[in-house]
Amino acid sequence: MARQRRPRYKKHARVGLFVSCTTNLFRPSLIKAAVHLLEKAGYDVEAPTIQSCCGLLSLRSNEPEDARDLAKQVISQFGHYDFVAVLSPFCAKVFENAYTPLLCEQSEELAKITQNFSRRCFEVSELLLAAPELPQTLPGFAGKVAFLDVADAPNLFGSQAASRVLLGQLEHVSVVDLPQICAFQVKGAPEGTISPELGRGDLSSLLHAVRSCGAGTLVSTDLALLMELSTQLRRYGSAMELRPVLEVLAGDVQSMPIGLSARAMAGHSVL
């Protein structure tokens, strides 16, 4: 997902890793990959064990009061870090675009705190791209990778997402760009609060593009999106492996692909 705002690198900056609800439950290997990459880039990383939801689910359910309470909890948990590294691009958009409108009318002091917090929140890949010496991948991952971008506006000149830029710099990985998925404004939420919905786009064209791209691995930035897409691909008869992009950047070939069936897992060999 392309974003114009970029962080200014500071070596040994204290970084709090915000783990999305889905990642915490279903993909702890992604947390490990993110911590490894950020530390290799020169940041001092912490992943607090107690974390609140970003509030996106409450906003999608039209429950702004619950979203406000969650926003206050997140700011209390992460407000003391130099940067907040966010695993999900949609959580990052909530921090960037929704928190200030949600809390600005509560008090002038809280509004200033919230604005300062939002300015320090970035996707993990953006903090990696800001580092002067990009972290090298671990031995093991090579081949053709299909990249699925999610954006709130059409990318007329190709994806500018930090994760796509980082993929393009890997020596042993060739990248195929798939048609992007457009994210949609959450109804009733502050402007810029977005959420992907596979069913609202031309899903059949995307599935056909995946099957015909010639890549053995598909990567994207959001775990929940990859989990939903894996279900559609199995129905479509695709054997492509799906992985979070950060795991590929970290050279992680030991974690099982997303959505692999129990039978496939039994026969899956780790390279």
* Domain positions in the chain: 14-130, 143-261
pTM for this entry: 0.89
pLDDT at 1 over 50: no
- Sorting pLDDT into bands at 50, 70 and 90, what band is 83? very high
- Sorting pLDDT into bands at 50, 70 and 90, what band is 171? confident
What number of other Cβ atoms are within 10 A of residue 152's Cβ? Answer: 18
Distances (CA, A) of 200 to 182, 184, 195, 266: 9, 9, 11, 35
Q: Report the top-level CATH class of 143-261.
A: alpha beta
Angstrom distance (rounded) from CA 269 to CA 242: 15
pLDDT at 2 over 70: no
Distances (CA, A) of 8 to 23, 77, 81, 140, 163: 27, 22, 14, 31, 17
- Select the more confidently predicted residue: 235 or 113: 113
Angstrom distance (rounded) from CA 188 to CA 51: 25
Helix (H, G, I), strand (E, B) or coil at 265: helix
**Residue 40's Cα: distance from chain center in Å?**
19
Angstrom distance (rounded) from CA 12 to CA 39: 9
Asked whether the beta carbons of 226 and 253 are under 8 A apart, the reply is no
Mean pLDDT of 150-176: 84
What percentage of the chain reaches a pLDDT higher than 70? 89
pLDDT at 14 over 50: yes
pLDDT at 123 over 60: yes
Residue range 87-98, pLDDT digits in tens: 999 999 999 999
pLDDT at 86 over 70: yes
pLDDT at 234 over 70: yes
Residue where the block lists tokens 């279900």 = 231
- Sorting pLDDT into bands at 50, 70 and 90, what band is 25? confident
- Select the more confidently predicted residue: 3 or 196: 196
Burial of 5 (0-12, 13-18, 19+ CB in 10 A): exposed
- Residues 6 or more apart in contact with residue 17 via CB below 8 angstroms: 31, 34, 35, 38, 45, 46, 47, 48, 85, 87, 124
